[in-house]
């Protein structure tokens, strides 16, 4: 969740109007809820700004099933990080395994207990928020590290230039120190003799 938004945004995808109505009514007091009844529209809404923080996705839908929607979400760089929760009437363990293998973070079977759905939504939103904060900190540290590496390179260049000039000055001093010493000795000898 970004600083501009005060509430998490949920996208609910289901082709049964009664399911949409129930979930939207139960969740809209706590979250900004957008919804659609088909996969292609879900993909479009997921990519829009602001993006949803969590997608609640049915599996059995016409045109494009939930598995395909999830697959496309996870293939797209822009939507890959959005957590997906399947909410479906499919009860086989193979269906659940398939959904989780596609990258979903959870799988809830219908009919569902609203308290459990709310608890799992909260858990996954908290996890996403922490992951987003870690990603932001990592990006900040990476940028800082790059800046420090640049500064180190600049200081090494400056140090090399200083060493070069110091060597040059030492050479000049050495070349001019001995001849002036020998000149001083010869002028001393001339004056004493």
Lowest mean pLDDT across 55-59, 76-80, 91-95 = 91-95
* DSSP assignment of 54-67: EEEE-S--SSS-HH
pLDDT tens readout for residues 92-148: 999 999 999 999 999 999 888 899 999 999 999 999 999 999 999 999 999 999 999
Averaged pLDDT score across all residues of the chain: 88
Q: Residue 17: which residues within 8 A CB-CB, separation 6 or more? A: 37
Q: Where are the domains of the chain?
A: 9-143
- Given a cut of 70, whether residue 4 has pLDDT beyond it is no
Q: Note the pLDDT of residue 63.
A: 87
Q: Note the pLDDT of residue 168.
A: 86
Q: Note the pLDDT of residue 1.
A: 46
- Given a cut of 80, whether residue 12 has pLDDT beyond it is yes
Q: How far is 52 from 73, CA to CA, in rounded Å?
A: 12
| Number of residues assigned to the chain | 193
Q: Note the pLDDT of residue 101.
A: 95
DSSP state for residue 112 in the 8-state scheme: -
Are 55 and 83 contacting, i.e. CB atoms less than 8 angstroms apart?
Answer: yes
User: Does the domain formed by 9-143 have CATH 3.40.50.2300?
Assistant: yes
**pTM, entire model:** 0.74
């Amino acid at each position: 969740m970004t600083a501009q938004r005060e509430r998490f945004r949920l996208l609910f995808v289901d082709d049964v109007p009664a399911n949409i109505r129930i979930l939207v009514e139960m969740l809209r007091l706590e979250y900004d809820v957008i919804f659609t009844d088909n996969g292609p529209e879900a993909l479009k809404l997921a990519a829009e700004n602001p993006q949803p923080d969590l997608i609640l996705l049915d599996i059995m839908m016409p045109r494009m099933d939930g598995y395909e929607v999830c697959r496309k979400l996870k293939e797209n760089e822009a939507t890959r990080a959005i957590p997906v929760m399947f909410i479906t009437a499919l009860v086989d363990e193979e269906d659940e395994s398939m959904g989780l293998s596609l990258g979903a973070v959870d799988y809830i079977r219908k009919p569902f207990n609203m308290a459990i759905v709310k608890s799992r939504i909260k858990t996954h939103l908290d996890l996403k928020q922490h992951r987003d904060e870690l990603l932001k900190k990592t990006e900040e540290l990476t940028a800082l590290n790059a800046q420090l590496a640049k500064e180190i390179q600049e200081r090494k260049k400056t140090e090399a230039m200083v060493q070069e000039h110091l060597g040059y000055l030492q050479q000049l001093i050495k070349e001019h120190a001995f001849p002036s010493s020998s000149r001083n000795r010869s002028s001393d000898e001339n004056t004493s003799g």
